Amino acid sequence: MLHELDPMLYVLGVIIGIGCIIPLQQARKILGSLKQEKIVGWPHSRRMLLGLNVVIFGGLLASTWTWVIHRQLLGAGASTACTAQGCHTLIGDSRWNEVPLLGVEWGIFGLLAFTVLGFIALSLLFSPTEGWNRTWLKGGLVFSGLGLPAVAWLVLVELVLADGAPVICPFCTMAHIATVASFVLFLLLSKAHDAGDWEKSAEPLS
């Protein structure tokens, strides 16, 4: 039931949802009603960059939260940060909560990955007219794309491989959604830049 979900799950859902909505043309009316005329007047590419930064922030929070859950499970054998059984089954099992070959837990790996993506996206947002932005866009596209096989593997674990499968870790799912959404936004931004649909003379944010 919805009322039984962990409050942090709502927070993450709202953050990632807002990030996905901001780039939409329909969002301009919403932003206008919230007296955000400056953002409404931004070129579409900059609003996509803003949405990308919000999505990445949501992914960073989700990854951090899974790390918190893991710390609690290691220390007390239970977690107050997530009451869903999937969190205990997946995050509490080292077979599924470690990156293959690296031995690093997924929460830390995701935290580092979203930090790198956030640095790229934030740099592009503040300096969208710099000559290096195409290279950084392509870098963000490739780096976020590398997360897709990881998402596919973790979904396979949830649906097939884990004990008692299918089991769903809702906070892991939020991180997955943020990963896919980041890739899609980087892809759209890259295509927009290649097509010349990119702001040429806007002043960098300060």
Stated pTM of the model: 0.90
The alpha carbon of residue 35 and the mean position of all alpha carbons in its chain are separated, in whole angstroms, by 27
For residue 113, give both structure tokens.
Answer: 């990955």
The yes-or-no verdict on residue 2 having pLDDT over 60 is no
How high does pLDDT run on average in the chain? 87
**Is-contact 19 57, C-beta < 8 A?**
yes
Closest C-alpha among 47, 194, 203 to residue 135: 194
From the list 187, 158, 179, the residue with the least C-alpha distance to 63 is: 179
Whether the upstream peptide bond of residue 166 has omega within 30° of 0, thus cis, is: yes
Segments of the chain assigned E as strands: none
CA distance 113 to 4: 30
**Domain locations in the chain as residue ranges:** 2-194
Is 2-194 a CATH 1.20.1440.130 domain? yes
Q: What is the structure's pLDDT at 201?
A: 44
* Count of residues in the chain: 206
Task: Annotate 165-192 with b (16+ C-beta within 10 A) or e (fewer).
Answer: eebbbbbbbbbbbbbbbbbebbebbbeb
The more confident residue out of 146 and 29 is 146
* % of the chain beyond a pLDDT of 70: 94
pLDDT of residue 72: 85
Place 204 in a pLDDT band, splitting at 50, 70 and 90. low
